[in-house]
Amino acid sequence: MTTIISVHSYRGGTGKSNISANVAALLAQSGHRVGVMDVDIRSPGIHVLFGLEPQNIDHTLNDFLWGRCSVDAAIVDVTRAAVPGTPRGRGQVLLVPSSMRTGEIARILKEGYAVEVLNEGIHELCRRLDLDYLIIDTHPGVNEETLLSVAISDTLLMVLRPDQQDYQGTAVTLELAMRLEVPQMLLVVNKVHSSIDAVELKGEIEAAYRSPVACVLPLSDDLVRLGSAAVLAAVTPNAPYVTALRDVLAYLEPRHASAG
């Protein structure tokens, strides 16, 4: 059975896509078969972290949503970028990217798409690929496609920064997720300055939202230097950011094992 994880934030710039890509890599490094779907169709970008050039992508999620191809035709195997050196069959990352073409982004902005088709595609992908996990990199904010992704998820990873605007928006999103009866809601606090006491911050946020903080991620010089050119967990697995992010797996893997 596939565990569906939506990675979401109320505002952009929280580091949501980096977290999605690195969690996928860490799960694959643990031997899991992982799918990643870029549902941030208005501003896609997670493919960059896996080293994909737009001109080398034959089909995208956009093509599926508009009936041009099956959802599995849009899959790109990015295992080599996520888990370098891993023998075949030991772990896998399969990406469904969104289109970077200006005209197709403009069409989405103008016309939208049938959200129920996205729902069908998500479930079809899980069935066809026999995934252990499907990670959905959502569009920030509250909108129809985000609510769909959250509603069908087993776990919501809610990303926020230690910032008052993020705090208020996160409260709104968590309330919606509770109404949608998402089984597991986890907070990931990102871009925390070294001058802030991470343990104290974790306690304050858990008390305020009554949801567990899966990890507190440091403001990472390693990510800045990398500049989205790769997945940090693949190239620098002992970086402080990656070490902290491993704590998320302690919440995800037991739940997947019990569901399976």
User: Domain segments of the chain: what residues?
Assistant: 3-252
pLDDT in tens, 174-207: 998 899 999 999 999 999 999 999 999 999 999 9
Q: Is the dihedral of CA 131, 50, 191, 198 positive or negative?
A: positive
Q: Are 93 and 103 in contact (CB under 8 A)?
A: no
**Mean pLDDT across the chain, nearest whole number?**
91
Query: Among 5-9, 140-144, 192-196, which stretch is predicted with the lowest mean pLDDT?
Result: 140-144
pTM for the structure as a whole: 0.94
Q: Is the dihedral of CA 129, 259, 249, 5 positive or negative?
A: positive
**Helix, coil or strand: residue 86:** coil
- Cα 159 to Cα 219: distance, rounded to the nearest angstrom: 14
Number of H helices, E strands in the chain: 13, 8
- Cα 190 to Cα 216: distance, rounded to the nearest angstrom: 6
Query: Among 45-49, 105-109, 149-153, which stretch is predicted with the lowest mean pLDDT?
Result: 105-109
CATH architecture of 3-252: 3-Layer(aba) Sandwich (3.40)
Give residue 5's pLDDT band: very low, low, confident or very high (50, 70, 90). very high
